[in-house]
Structure 1
Amino acid sequence: AAYAEEAIRAKTMGLKAYKLHPPGRSFEEDLEAHRLVREAVGPEFVLMSDPVSSFNLEEAIRFGRELEKLNYLWFEEPIFDENFHALKELTRQLEIPVVGTEVLARHPYSVAECIKSRVVDRVRADVSWTGGVTGVMKTARLAEAFGVNCEIHTAIFHSAELINLHCCAAMKNCDYFELLFPIEEFAFGLAAPLPVENGIARLPQSAGAGIDLDWDEIDRCTLRIV
């Protein structure tokens, strides 16, 4: 029920999509959470699933086929990113796009093999995991050359998300900009939350990356300077 309530709130705010990270305690519990969210937001609202590598290959195939029935847009990191063989077989068997590579080391070189061998359908990158702006843009351009989307993965807090957003604006092959929800709770350290209006995140117009830090709040929360 908590997932459904959060998804309704996201939809009401004008966000264009909602992604579940299910509990991971049991197959049926995770599937029921996905069903309840689909019922709550209706058949057309965009939904994604990210079980954070909680499945083996057999489970992932079964779960992915259920997601297809529920009209989910993609199935993200169902198996460990490093398990190329299992991910490739999963991608071959499912209609729903399989998304991965966010935690692979050595972007873009490791991602090149995933794209060449079609280990996944869409790849992931973000400035906090994959080598900063340079690593993200190399991965994005590599994916673009093969006609593959590079979806930007959340960098958690908005000060880093603003760098991700600049990368998104410089890419043609990214459909969604990911933010953790509730949005306001991850704006710590900024003078104002990242600007999102009617589901669209907008680039700040100030100098540089547009990061305006709230030093009073940062100082108030500082426990120790080392």
Structure 2
Amino acid sequence: MAGHSKWSNIKHKKAKEDKKRAKIFNKHLREISVAAREGGGDPDMNPRLDTAIDNAKSDNVPKDNIERAIKKGTGELDEGDGRYEDATYEGYGPGGIAYFIEVTTNNYNRTVGEIRHIFTSHGGNLGTDGSVGYLFEQKGMILVKPESHDEEEFMLNAIDAGAEEIDTDGEFFNVTTARESMYEVRDQLEEAGYDIESAELIRLPMTEVKAEADVAESNFKLMDKFEDNDDVSNVFTNMKMDDETLAIAEQMD
């Protein structure tokens, strides 16, 4: 699934753009708040929170914002915007491409209405729970800055740490792990001196669907609409992300 690793990198780079900065800050802060509420406000005792904080720092989220999000999650601070919860939605895009969407919302009715509208206005449809979820497998994805590290040595260290798959696009080492071992692999790589850019749980398609150019372009437009929605945390599809398809995405920037 190297293509989906490359697609994750493209999305990661897009999120660094100034026009996306407010959106990515908001995404990080919601994740921190939910992680703190579910596992407590001490990152040393809460791997999800620890990872969320590291990811936020990597994107230059201010320390004060991070601390405020933790307090919101633990209940020490109430800013009157309600309690955020994780939720998922499933559906189909143009050409029958399957979509699995993760959101963090304080209003389920608003969010499901917006998700349905985005689907229907772009040639897709919102499905029921379980309609496409079985097509995806949850994995850990860790992006590591190569810097001056030897690639072969890194791969050996990553495998020893528990990585399932490693590839590189020249900008990052992309490390895929089992869902349950992502935090442990991240910690071991960090302890070995590697600079972690980000670590997150993703959903990889177990089988991929090759889309013609026009269908691929329509789906990338749909993905962008979902990514622009404040409640959406992640968008996963089973569209085959080969070089030809990824070139379409890069040309659309």
Q: TM-score range by the shorter chain?
A: under 0.3
Return the structure number with greater relative CO, CA threshold 8 A, min gap 6. 2
Of Structure 1 and Structure 2, which has the larger fraction of its residues in strand? 2
Higher helix share: 2
Scaled by the length of structure 1, what TM-score is found?
0.27
TM-score when normalising by structure 2:
0.25
